[in-house]
């Protein structure tokens, strides 16, 4: 029985979908004006894992992950670059898709762009205005009156008196209350035409928070099962989504709220100002993408994730051990046998709020059994269970002999040449030279394994 930690209730709850057999899940996606960073990587991988496990558990899943393709940062970046907003956002959406594919992230069922749902946002704002939740401020922005919504602050666990206005951009003038937030931004002089839409409140564009409320309800209905995102979105974004959606529709918005933990770099908060800000592309120049995925999944999704070269190196070594176990034993292709004890423990771990650290520990138990027994059945279970997490889906030799990090190590032809030279030295009984070549390759990150019959296999360290 699956239990999910519900941020709203601050406890693990037994998962029961609104419609039996169907899970409707919405995850806040990227604002596309720059390359995706490690925090984005975690969101992508974590909720890909969640969707995979729900499907492996027999549910039909409708997974929505949105794209914010209009906001102040996007407008500013396009103007700085001297290009259209569409050209900028199309380019970074393509880059995001490349990064997600590299990390083994399956495509969501729907990937709505905010600019294509402006009419739905206007309808929701109109409903809020009619219900007394929205008003036109003196600067002609349309704002949400937070104090009109009973229960504001439930998700963050704070009272109205404790809260401070949290805005994605500058706090609007003319608000009735500092906590009120913008639903519709009146157009400003100098903004490009492609950032403006006509509306009952004049030319302008939607505020950030209304985007997800409108897209979620359009694609999943006014009440759905799971809403996810990074911990940084809990307040104000998700708090405001609840106020908007429940104010407009008059019903409960979401049953289960899930938030993944922050990414830290060498035990410090990741930020551009600290100079420890890494894009996915920068990390993938140094580490195989599956190593990065494994690194993310080895931590529980709600825990802080501490990025460092040492932790990535450790993840690479651990993933190498799993692939090494599969290298010499053909895996039975029968799929997961869920009645088998390892699979039972794997399921128990995943059903306990998606406890991937415990599930991955089961994979290492199976790897040990494969190493000990060369059982094709155990190898098949290892590969199939790992596949549920999007791991161990490559040919073991292809992974173990994969391309080196950018600017590092020998290519395959160079390695084979050195192995042939070592073999010639051994045949000439020049063992000192053979040992020198082995040591040279090891310094270059290449591990040699001499096999019976004189064959030599290799892998990257």
Question: Which tokens go with 154?
Answer: 């439930």
pLDDT digits (tens, 9 = 90+) for 345-374: 999 999 999 999 999 999 999 999 999 999
How many C-beta atoms lie closer than 10 Å to residue 392's C-beta? 23
Per-residue pLDDT, 168: 41
pLDDT digits (tens, 9 = 90+) for 287-310: 999 999 999 999 999 999 999 999
* Torsion 319-320-325-331 (CA) sign: positive
Please determine, for residue 209, whether its predicted confidence score (pLDDT) is greater than 60. yes
pLDDT band at 406 (very low <50, low <70, confident <90, very high): low
**3 state SS for the chain:** CCEEEECCCCEEEECCCCECCEEEEEEEEEECCCCCEHHHHHHHHHHHHHHHHHHHCCCEEEEEEEEECCCHHHHHHHHHHCCCHHHHHHHHHHHHHHHHHHCCCCCCCECCEHHHCHHHHHHHHHHHHHCCCEEECCCCCEEECHHHCCCCCCCCCCCCCCCCCCCCCCCCCCCCCCCCEEEEEECCCCCCHHHCECCCCCCEEECHHHHHHHHHHHHHCCCEEEEEEEHHHHHHHHHHHHHHHHHHHCCCCEEEEEEECCEEECCEECCCCCCCCCEHHHHHCCCCHHHHHHHHHCCCCCCCEEECHHHHHHHHHHHHHHHHHHHCCCCCCCCCCCCCHHHHHHHHHHHECCCHHHHHHHHHHHHHHHHHHCCHHHHHHHHHHHHHCCCCCCCHHHHHCCCCCCCCCCCHHHHHHHHHHHHHHHHCCCHHHHHHHHHHHHHCCEEEEECCCCCEEEEEC
Higher pLDDT, 9 or 438: 9
Distance CA 326, CA 161 (A): 58
Distance CA 406, CA 170 (A): 41
Per-residue pLDDT, 268: 80
Per-residue pLDDT, 121: 98
Q: What is the pTM of this model?
A: 0.90
Per-residue pLDDT, 169: 40
- Give the lowest-confidence range in 45-54, 130-139, 324-333: 324-333
Question: Which tokens go with 173?
Answer: 């003038």
Length of the chain: 461
Per-residue pLDDT, 170: 45
Closest CA to 64 of 276, 211, 237, 251: 211
pLDDT digits (tens, 9 = 90+) for 79-111: 999 999 999 999 999 999 999 999 999 999 999
pLDDT band at 426 (very low <50, low <70, confident <90, very high): confident
**3 state SS for 375-414:** CHHHHHHHHHHHHHCCCCCCCHHHHHCCCCCCCCCCCHHH
Closest CA to 92 of 279, 232, 274, 231: 279
Higher pLDDT, 274 or 268: 268
Per-residue pLDDT, 234: 96
**3 state SS for 62-124:** EEEEEEECCCHHHHHHHHHHCCCHHHHHHHHHHHHHHHHHHCCCCCCCECCEHHHCHHHHHHH
């Amino acid at each position: 029985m699956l239990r999910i930690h519900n941020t709203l209730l601050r406890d693990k709850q037994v998962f029961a979908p609104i419609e039996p057999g169907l899970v409707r899940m919405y995850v806040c996606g990227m604002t596309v004006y720059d390359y995706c960073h490690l925090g984005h990587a975690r969101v992508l991988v974590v909720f890909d894992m969640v969707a995979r496990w729900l499907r492996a558990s027999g549910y039909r899943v409708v997974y929505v992950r949105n794209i914010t393709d209009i906001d102040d940062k996007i407008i500013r970046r396009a103007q700085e670059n001297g290009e259209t907003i569409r050209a900028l956002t199309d380019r970074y959406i393509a880059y995001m898709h490349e990064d997600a594919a590299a990390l083994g992230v399956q495509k969501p069922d729907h990937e709505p762009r905010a600019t294509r749902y402006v009419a739905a946002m206007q309808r929701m704002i109109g409903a809020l205005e009619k219900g007394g939740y929205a008003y036109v401020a003196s600067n002609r922005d349309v704002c949400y009156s937070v104090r009109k919504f009973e229960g504001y602050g439930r998700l963050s666990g704070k009272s109205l008196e404790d809260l401070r206005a949290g805005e994605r951009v500058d706090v609007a003038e003319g608000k009735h209350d500092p906590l009120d937030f913008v639903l519709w931004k009146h157009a400003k002089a100098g903004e490009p035409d492609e950032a403006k839409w006509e509306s009952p409140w004049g030319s302008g564009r939607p505020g950030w928070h209304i985007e997800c409320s409108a897209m979620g309800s359009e694609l999943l209905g006014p009440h759905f099962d799971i809403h996810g995102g990074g911990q940084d979105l809990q307040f104000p974004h998700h708090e405001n989504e609840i106020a908007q959606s429940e104010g407009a529709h008059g019903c409960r918005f979401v049953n289960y709220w899930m938030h993944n933990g922050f990414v830290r770099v060498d035990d410090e908060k990741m930020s551009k100002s600290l100079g420890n800000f890494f894009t996915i592309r920068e990390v993938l120049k140094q580490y195989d993408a599956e190593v990065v995925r494994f690194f993310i999944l080895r931590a529980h999704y709600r825990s802080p994730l501490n990025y460092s070269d040492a932790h990535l190196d450790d993840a690479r070594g651990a993933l190498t051990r799993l692939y090494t176990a599969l290298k010499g034993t053909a895996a039975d292709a029968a799929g997961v046998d869920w009645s088998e004890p390892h699979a039972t423990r794997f399921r128990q771990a995943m059903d306990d709020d998606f406890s991937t650290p415990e599930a991955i520990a089961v994979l290492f138990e199976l790897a040990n059994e494969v190493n000990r027994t060369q059982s094709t059945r155990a190898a098949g279970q290892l590969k199939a269970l790992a596949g549920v997490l999007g791991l161990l889906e490559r040919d073991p030799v292809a992974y173990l002999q994969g391309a080196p990090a950018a600017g590092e190590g020998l290519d395959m032809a160079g390695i084979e040449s050195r192995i042939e030279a070592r073999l010639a030295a051994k045949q000439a009984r020049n063992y000192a030279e053979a040992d020198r070549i082995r040591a040279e390759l090891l310094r270059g990150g290449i591990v040699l394994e001499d096999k019976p019959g004189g064959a030599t296999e290799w892998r990257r360290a």
